[in-house]
Amino acid sequence: MPGQTPILGIRYPLLGETIDPAAFANFANDVNSAVAANQTLASDALNRKMCLIPALIPQSFTVNVETSITFTNTSLAQRPFRDNDNMFNAGSPTQLTINTAGIYMIISRDMAVNAFTTMVSIRNAIFRNGVLVFAERRNEQDGSTSSMLETIEALVRCEAGDIITNRILWNGTGGPATMSQLGYPHLEVFRVAPLF
Amino acid sequence: MNFTDVLRLPCPSDGDYAALSVYMQRLAEEIEAKILAQRALISDETNPPTAIWIGPNIAIGPFSTASIVELSTPGQGFGVFTNYTVNGNLPQVSATKGLTFNEAGVWHFGFCITSVASGAVTNDSNRLFRVQIAKGTSGGTQQIELFGRHINAEATIATDFLTGQAVFNVDTETAKYGINTVFTHTNAASNVSIPVNGVYYWATRIGSTDSIEVL
C-alpha cells in the first residue's frame, strides 16, 4: 500500500515496500497528471477568452436613432480580428455572445465622424442583453470637420449566453449621418476572471 | 543525496540505494510543493482580486451647483460582485482608509457615472467626476493618483454618462489607502441627480509590484 502526497496524491513506495516498475510508473503518471493540469491552467492564462473585432464597413447612424454597430470578422494589420471562444457569428454581426461565464473587460473605441455640421452629442454605450451597462456621452461636436475618437471601458459580469452589443446614439442636425472611417470602431472583449 | 540544478529536487547518490523509497517520498512531496506554488502564481493571474459595484439603490439629489457630492459605496445600497474581502468585509469604495484593497499590487480602477438634470439644462454647463486614490501618512494624506472626467452638457435635457479609469500602485500598507469620489456640476438652470444604479465602479488587481522570480 503506497503512500501519497496530501493534496495532489502523488504515490510513492513506503519504506520496506518493493520498488518495482509499477511503483515508478505510478509515481511518473501522478507527476504527469499534476504537471499537465498546471499546463492547462498556464495555457488558459496565456490565452484568455477574447474577441477583438473591428467594424470595417461604413456605418450609417440616423440622427436620434440608437443603432448597433455592425462588426466584421476581417483583419487589418492595425485592427486585428481575434476570437478564440466563438463569440462572433457573421450571421448576427451586430452582437457578440459570451460563451464562457466570467468577468470581462469590455473596451469600445468609437468611430471617426466625418464632417458633421451641427452635431450636439454622441453616445457610445455597451449593452448586455439589451440593458445599458456603461456608456459615455460626449457633447459639443459642433462644426467638427475632423475625426473624433472616444474610448470607453469597464469590467462587466457576464453569464454564458449573454449578448453584448455596442450602440451609438447621436443628435444634432446637418450630417452626414454616415460614419465611414476605416478601422473604427473596434470592440475588445476579454475575460479577466471567472465568476465569483 | 544529490539535487537537480534549478528546482533543487532530491535524487539519491550511489550510496543511497537502500533508501530509495524515502527519496521517492521526499521527491514526491517536493514536486507537489513546486506544483502548488505554480498554481498559486497562475491563480493570481487568472483569478485576480476583482470587484464590481453598482448603486445607489436610492437616487442621490437633486443637488445644486453649490454641492459637492461624494459617491462612496458604504451605506448607499450598493450591490457588489467580488471574489475578495477586506478584513472579512466586502470591499467598498470610500475615502475612509482600509476598505478597498486586500493586497499590494498594481490595481486598475474605473467608473461610469450617470447624471440627470431635473429640469432645464444650462448650455455648456459641466458635469465633473473626480477620483483621488490617497494614502494616509504620518504627514497627512498623500495623493497617489488623481483622475476623472469632465464633460460639457448641451442645452437639451438628456442623461449624461461619464467614464474613466486609471492604473496605480498600492503598497503593502493597504489599510492606509482610500478612494475619494466627488461629483459636481455647474448646471444653474436646474438641479442634477444621480439616479438609481447611476454609479458603476470596478476594480481589479492586474499585477504584482514585486519582482517575480522565474525559474
Using CB atoms and an 8 Å cut-off, which of residues 99-138 of chain A contact chain B? Answer: 103, 120-121, 123, 125, 133-138
What's the one-letter identity of residue A169? L
- Rounded to the nearest integer, the mean pLDDT of chain A is 85
In sequence order, the 6+-apart residues with CB closer than 8 A to the CB of B80 are B51, B52, B53, B54, B73, B90, B91, B92
pLDDT at A147 over 90: no
Provide the mean pLDDT of chain B. Answer: 92
Residue B25 at interface with chain A, using a CB cutoff of 8 Å = yes
Size of interface A-B (CB pairs under 8 A): 131
Say yes or no: A63 and A147 in one domain.
yes
Cβ of B163 within 8 Å of Cβ of A154? The answer is yes
Each residue's pLDDT tens digit, B133-156:
999 999 899 999 999 999 888 777
On whether both A33 and A113 belong to a single domain, the answer is no
pLDDT score of A145 more than 50: no
Residues of B in contact with A152 (CB under 8 A): 112, 163
DSSP strand pairing (B199-207 vs B105-117):
antiparallel
Q: Which residues in B lie closer than 8 A to residue A10 (C-beta atoms)?
A: 28, 31-32
Q: Which of B28, B81, B110 sits opposite A157 (nearest CB)?
A: B81
pLDDT over threshold 90, residue A113: no
Closest CA to A70 of A194, A187, A162, A188: A187
State how far the Cα of A64 lies from the Cα of A170, in Å rounded to an integer: 6
Question: Residue A86 sits in which domain range?
Answer: 50-193
DSSP state of B185: E
In this prediction, residues A188-195 reach a mean pLDDT of 93
- In chain B, what's the furthest Cα-to-Cα distance? 92
Chain A residues in contact with B112 by the CB 8 A cut-off are 134-136, 152, 154
Indicate the range of A36-45, A115-124, B115-124 predicted with least confidence: A115-124
Residue A97, pLDDT score: 98
> What distance in Å separates residue B11's CA from the closest CA in chain A?
14
A168 and A83, same domain (yes or no):
yes
Q: Examine the domain organization and report whether A91 and A188 are in the same domain.
A: yes
B163: nearest CB among A13, A16, A136? A136
A59 to each of A168, A171, A182, B162, how far by Cα in Å? Answer: 10, 16, 10, 24
Residue located via cell numbers 471617426: A112
DSSP-derived letter for residue B172 is S
Amino acid identity of residue B170, one-letter, is V
pLDDT tens by residue, A29-67: 999 999 999 999 898 888 999 999 988 777 777 888 898
Q: For residue B88, what is its C-alpha cell? A: 472579512
User: Do A93 and A138 reside in the same domain of the chain?
Assistant: yes
Q: Say yes or no to pLDDT of A146 above 70.
A: no
Q: Which residue does chain A place closest to B25, by CA atoms?
A: A12
Please tell me if residue A169 touches chain B, with a CB cutoff of 8 Å.
no
Cell numbers given for A153: 471601458
Please say whether the beta carbons of A153 and B110 come within 8 A: yes
Number of domains in chain A: 2
Helices and strands, counts by H and E, chain A: 1, 14
CA distance A119 to A115: 9
pLDDT (tens digit per residue) in B44-57: 888 999 999 999 99
Q: If you average pLDDT over residues B2-6, what whole number do you get?
A: 83
Kindly tell me if the per-residue pLDDT of A95 is higher than 70: yes
Which CATH number belongs to the domain containing residue A107 in this structure? 2.60.120.40
Do A124 and A29 fall into the same domain?
A: no
Name residue B134's amino acid. A
Mean pLDDT of A120-133: 92
Say if CB B144 and CB B65 are below 8 A apart.
no
In this structure, the answer to whether residues A161 and A173 fall within a common structural domain is yes
Mutate to test the interface with A, among B24, B30, B214 (most CBs of A within 10 A): B24
Q: Do A42 and A101 fall into the same domain?
A: no
| B21 at A interface, C-beta within 8 A | yes
Residues A32 and A63 in one domain: no
Name the more confident of B183 and B41: B183
pLDDT of residue B117: 94
Contact between A87 and A99 under an 8 Å Cβ cutoff? The reply is yes
Check if the beta carbon of residue B113 is closer than 8 Å to that of residue B197. Answer: no
- Of the pLDDT bands very low, low, confident and very high (cuts 50, 70, 90), residue A183 is low
Q: Looking at residues A176-190, what average pLDDT do you find?
A: 71
CB-CB contact of A137 with B160 (8 Å)? yes
Residue window 52-81, chain A: list those with CB within 8 Å of chain B. Answer: none
- Inter-chain CB proximity B153 and A125 less than 8 Å: no
As a whole number of angstroms, the distance between CA A121 and CA A190 comes to 29
Neighbours of A22 (CB within 10 A): 12
- Please, are residues A12 and A27 in contact by the beta-carbon 8 Å criterion? yes
Q: Is A26 in the same domain as A88?
A: no
My answer on whether A128 and A67 are in the same domain is: yes
* A87, A137: one domain: yes
As a whole number of Å, the CA-based R_g of chain A is 25
**Which three three-digit cell numbers place residue A186?**
473596434
Confidence at A19, pLDDT banded by 50, 70, 90: confident
Q: Nearest chain B Cα to A35, which residue?
A: B35
Tell me which chain B residues have a C-beta less than 8 angstroms from the C-beta of A138: 151
Query: Cβ separation of B52 and A45 shorter than 8 Å?
Result: no
Distance between CA atoms of A168 and A126, rounded to whole angstroms? Answer: 9
**Weakest mean pLDDT among B77-91, B116-130, B176-190:** B116-130
For residue B180, which amino acid is it?
N
Across A182-194, average pLDDT: 82
ipTM above 0.95, yes or no: no
Cβ-nearest to A15 among B21, B149, B202:
B21
CB contact, 8 Å: B153 with chain A?
yes
